[in-house]
Amino acid sequence: MFKINQKANKIINTFFYSLAIIVIIFNRSNIVFSAVNNWVEISRTTEGIQYIDRNSLNNKGKSIIEIITKYSKIKANTSEKIEDNIYIMRINCISNEFKDISVNGKNNLSAKWEASNKDKLIDDVIYESCKNV
């Protein structure tokens, strides 16, 4: 009876350790919020401020990069921050298109490549992120 309990405990422990490893690997939100960020202000308008995390730049190959960005919405008359949103943005440095693959730690599996539509904040992020790639 004792040997059966030891085997059962070993199987259960192995299962839970494996499950924990899988959750850690596939839960990208832990990476976004646990890393030490090096926020650099890239652009500012009356509506908000755009930052990139210089420590997060990841070259995916074929002129595609991935970077963590933060958008701070501000009150136009006081410049007081109202809200922060953190994105993992993938950028095609050749076509100057982007897609937000994660917003505030939630993966966006349906993200599609899109143009900035002359959004100054996005244009500035693309330019600044791609200039050294």
Cα gap 33→10, rounded to integer Å: 33
pLDDT at position 29 over 50: no
What is the percent of the chain with per-residue pLDDT over 70, rounded to a whole number? 74
> Residue 56's closest CA among 68, 46, 45?
68
Mean pLDDT of the chain: 83
Quick check: 31 pLDDT over 60?
no
Query: What pLDDT score was predicted for residue 106?
Result: 94
